[in-house]
Chain A
Amino acid sequence: MKNEFFSRSYSQAYKNFKLLFKNPFRWFDVTFWPLILFFSITIFASYLETDPRILAVVIMGLIGWRAVYHPLMEINTLYMEEYWSNSLGHFFITPIKPIEIVLGGTISALMKFFIVFIMYYLIAVFLYGFSFANFPVFMAAIFFLFLFGISIGMLILGLMFKMASDSFSLSYTVPDIAVLISGVYYPISFLPLPVQAIALLLPSAHAFNLIKASLGLAEFSWVALIITTIAWLLGTYLFMQWAFRSAKKSGKLVRVM
């Protein structure tokens, strides 16, 4: 039973790996686009010539955001690939379960994140003499951000089960909204008060506070980070499971109707 669970989960990672290694354009996701983002933001931050800690926050923010982006995109593209190929019928006739799609996406996301992490770190050291203020704390923040990425992945996967292609654009818009209010590159206190209240419900806001706190630039609460992370994981998992059952009922899972 355990072996079957891992075999089905690995099938999803296998699909992502094969598609990545066979198509050079898919490497843009771990090379071209992250580099464009990196240089746009770090060049601007160094041009401003402010407190050097700000540049460190920006670099760690860029790395941290990739920890959210890759799991959510890998999980969602697993479904989208099948949808675009019109092969959902063949996919869901197999014993695959939603949680196995999530685990498969997480495996390939780990690999992609690792590539971008190393690339960003080497460039940051070479160009800006960057070093981590507190590496273990930074890695703890990365861990929680990765879990948040999985949560958003499950949320959007659930929406895809329910709404199919109508929800595909959410894969891109939900992270954009989250990046705006999570205080990736600036303190949350900079945001309007009602937005701050919403931001504090996101584990990403607390994880980025942890990164800033390692440089003495913010206050941080472990309790808030852990509670919001568990709440998001649990809530989005339950939503995804409900959406899967509901899509089976309505026939939307394989577009019967």
Chain B
Amino acid sequence: MSASAVSVQNAKKIFSQKKEKILALDGVSFEIKKGEIFGLLGPNGAGKTTLISAICGLIELDSGSVEVFGTNVQKNRDKVIGEINLVTGFAGVLRGLTVEELLTYYSYLYSVKDKKKAIENALTLSGLLEKRNQLAYTLSSGYRQRFYIAKALLSSPKVLLMDEPTVGLDVESALKIRKLIEELKKKGLTILLTTHYMIEAEQLCDKVALISKGKIIALGTVRQLKKLAKKPRASLEDVFLFLTRKSLEEDEDEK
């Protein structure tokens, strides 16, 4: 059994759009230990969603590998997909069905044995019990994120990929989602969290990787990263700005 829950090695991906080539991942490598919350921070277009899609096996890498509990996702997705689930602020919910009906739908998709029990557990843990008969697409943003978490928990995943779960939420809803993430960690889940909010990463993550233009520009604990900014009482935001500016200057020097 592998010691790390997720291992990404030298992942490369280039997308072709008409005549344009877009380098989405440029040799990304990192490992996430079991039970860890791993933060992936970066601006829009940095490659965070591509990386998450590769870990789910939803896109194929051009080279490199992604392993989940020692199984290569690109080669043996069927073997390992049951261990992974996704919470994303960018996808919608299927229109026309209530929260409970949608969870039933997903429980069939995940071949959950005791559907009733699994749905009750997921509704309870995500705080959605009183919303079970509401049409899922009419839920507010905060409750919708809870729904995604409930959906993800149905399959009892060991690795949870959370793609900006608090994006667009008000302060109170974001706080509740963060609290929920902490509870999931206590239950032993390994979590990969992408976010724009440095405060979120500081509060939740055991380890953080900063990603820019498809490359990991820094990786370590929040404390280790803060030292990189060479500034007293630096925040992760300072580190990020310092490193991205440095990387820009290096790019210009190369030109």
Contact = CB atoms under 8 A, between A and B. Distances in A.
B60 A248 contact: yes
Interface stretch (B102-110, B178-186, B194-202, B242-250): B102-110
Contact of B137 (A85, A92, A249): A85
A253 B91 contact: no
B172 interface: no
Interface residues of A toward B: which range? 35 or more
A87 interface: yes
Contacts of B58: 89, 92-93, 248, 253-254, 256
B111 interface: yes
Contacts of B111: 3-4, 7-8, 95
B187 to A, nearest CB: 20
Given A95-B82, A248-B60, A87 B50 contact: no
A251 B101 CA distance: 29
Contacts of B53: 251, 254, 256
Nearest to B115: A7
A19 interface: yes
Nearest to A93: B86
A88 B85 CA distance: 14
A221 interface: no
Nearest to A88: B91
A187 B25 CA distance: 58
Contacts of B207: none
B49 interface: yes
Contacts of A251: 15, 50, 53, 59
A138 B82 CA distance: 45
Interface string A91-118: 1111110000000000000000000000
Given A8-B111, A11-B108, A94-B106, A19 B96 contact: yes
Contact of A250 (B15, B78, B101): B15
Interface string A232-257: 00000000000001001111011011
A250 B58 CA distance: 10
A82 B16 CA distance: 25
Q: Most chain-A Cβ atoms within 10 A of its Cβ — which of B78, B86, B97, B111?
A: B111
B105 to A, nearest CB: 6
A176 interface: no
Contacts of B110: 94-95
A23 interface: yes
Given A249-B59, A254-B53, A89 B91 contact: yes
22 contacts: A4-B111, A7-B108, A11-B105, A11-B106, A15-B94, A15-B97, A18-B101, A85-B93, A86-B92, A87-B91, A88-B91, A89-B86, A90-B91, A90-B93, A90-B151, A93-B56, A96-B109, A248-B60, A249-B60, A251-B50, A251-B53, A253-B59
- Which 10 pairs of residues, A with B, have the shortest CB-CB distance? A11-B108, A86-B92, A89-B91, A7-B111, A4-B111, A94-B109, A257-B15, A93-B86, A11-B109, A249-B60
Given A14-B105, A95-B81, 13 more contacts: A7-B109, A7-B111, A11-B109, A15-B97, A18-B101, A22-B96, A85-B137, A90-B86, A92-B58, A95-B78, A96-B109, A254-B53, A257-B24
